[in-house]
Structure 1
């Protein structure tokens, strides 16, 4: 968020939490992108604040988190002191979550795989209306194919991303009998190492597809510890995930820090992943 919008988001989080009976004397920015994560102290709440046009996405995330917590999934939970719903204030959607102090040790591939197994088992026990991962690919493909949405994407790279997204989406999504509910983007930044063990966060990307689509977001060695995973499909999904990442970076309105670097790096990662298929 731009500085002026961030200041409003911080004040909205402070006011919202205070109105719900939580004490807020200090606010610290944990993450700042199109939405922000704020640590509120001394109540020690994690507030996630997004512009209100993302209300539906925020409400979906809250509902998924609530159901997964009830199913015993290894996920970051909503703050139990307030109602499990999104608060709308001053053109922002605010949700309040439990803050987990991170543990400094690295999550091993075996522990990552164990978290995946428990998370996928819990996802099979809940029922939510989530899109198929190929729907997300279709959105990315539309942006790649539209020069007005991605005006700086060179012609050759546009054709390369189009062919990669279309081809890998069709290949990875061909067998719908393998599909189940997934996290959607369980990369290492979305798995916290806490005193409770590894916990998945950012649940708004929940979608349907094969478990290999999730595994391809994690460390490569993690898939080796996941019984029944198809290594070839993991490789295809890894290339597809990097193609999705690259497609988002070329959007005209993308706000990722160091975007120029990640535009080039993303395309390189796609090519490297394709070489392994």
Structure 2
């Protein structure tokens, strides 16, 4: 968010929590992208604030978290002192979560894999409608094909992403691997190391697909510790993951910090991954 929108979003998060009886003397911005994460002090609440256009995504995330908490999934919990829902204020959708103080740094690959195993087991207990991973690919293909949405994407790079997205989506789907509800983007930034153990956050990306699609977002060593994982399928999913990530970076309204760097780096990662897999349509 730009400086003006960020100020309004911070105030919306602070005012929402205060109106619900939570004490807010200070606000710390933890993350600023298309939506922001705020630490509210001293009530120790994490407020996730998004433009109201993303209200449906916020509501979906709250519902996923609520259901996973009921089956003891390793996820960050909603703030228990208020009603578990999305609040609207000043054009923003606000959800309130428990704040977890980070403990240590990296999570060991075996522990990361163990958290994913438990997360997937919890997701199998949840009856929840969610898009298929191919729906996400279809959305990315629409972005790549729309020059108004991705105006800076050059012809050869546009062709590379189009071919990668469409070909790998078809290839992965045709493998008929077992599918289930997934986190969708369980990369290291979405797994917190807390005193309760590893906890997943950012649940709005929940989708259906093979567990290898989730493993492709984790560090490569994690897949080696996940029982029964198909390592060839992980590699295919990792290429697809980089193609999806890169497509979002080329959107005209993308707000990821260091977006220009990730545009170039994403294309480099796609090409490198295709080369390692022996594919060449660039």
TM-score where L is the length of structure 1: 0.98
Q: Distance in 2 between matches of 1:115 and 1:7?
A: 36
Tell me whether 1:35 sits opposite 2:35 in the alignment. yes
CA–CA distance in structure 1, aligned partners of residues 261 and 177 of structure 2: 38
Separation in 2, partners of 1:13, 1:249: 27
SS at match of 1:88: strand
Task: Give structure 1 stretches of 5+ with no counterpart.
Answer: none
Kindly report which structure 2 residues correspond to 1:154-233, keeping only aligned pairs within 5 A, or say none. 154-176=154-176, 178-233=178-233
Q: 1:28 touches 1:38 (CA, 8 Å); kept in 2?
A: yes
Paired with 1:6 and 1:245, the residues of 2 have a C-alpha distance of 24
Give matches, 1:44-55, under 5 Å: 44-55=44-55
1:109–1:221 contact (8 Å) kept in structure 2: yes
Q: 1:184-236 CA distances to partner (integer Å, 9 max, x unpaired)? A: 00000000111111100000000000000000000101101111100000000
1:19 lines up with 2:19 in the alignment: yes
Shift of 1:177: 5.3
Q: CA RMSD in A?
A: 0.9
CA deviations 1:158-180 (Å, max 9, x no partner) are: 11110000001111122455110
Partner of 2:254: 254
Aligned residues: 277
Contact 1:235 1:276 in 2 (8 A): no
Q: Using the alignment, how far apart are the partners of 1:9 and 1:158 within structure 2?
A: 34
Instruction: Specify the alignment match of 1:264 in structure 2.
Output: 264
TM-score, length basis structure 2: 0.96
Q: Distance in 2 between matches of 1:21 and 1:257?
A: 33
Q: Tell me how far apart the structure 1 counterparts of residues 93 and 40 of structure 2 sit (CA, whole Å).
A: 16
- Three-state SS of the structure 2 residue aligned to 1:256 is coil
SS of residue in 2 equivalent to 1:276:
helix
Instruction: Please list the CA deviations of residues 39-64 of structure 1 after superposition, one character each: whole Å capped at 9, or x if unmatched.
Output: 00110000000111111110000000
SS in 1 for 2:224: helix
Task: Name 1:65's counterpart in structure 2.
Answer: 65
Change beyond 3 A, Cα 1:72–1:18: same
Name the CA distance, whole Å, in 1 between partners of 2:223 and 2:154: 34
Larger mean CA deviation between 168-177 and 231-240 belongs to: 168-177
Moved more, 174-183 or 63-72: 174-183
> What is the alpha-carbon distance in structure 2 between the residues aligned to residue 5 and residue 34 of structure 1?
10
Other-structure match for 1:77: 77
Match of 2:280 in 1: none
Report the Cα offset of residue 255 of structure 1: 1.6
Question: Take 1:70 and 1:147, find their aligned partners in 2: how far apart are those partners?
Answer: 44
CA distance in 2, matches of 1:164, 1:194: 37
Q: For residue 153 of structure 1, what is the aligned residue in structure 2?
A: 153
For the 8 Å contact 1:176–1:209, the answer to whether it is kept is: no
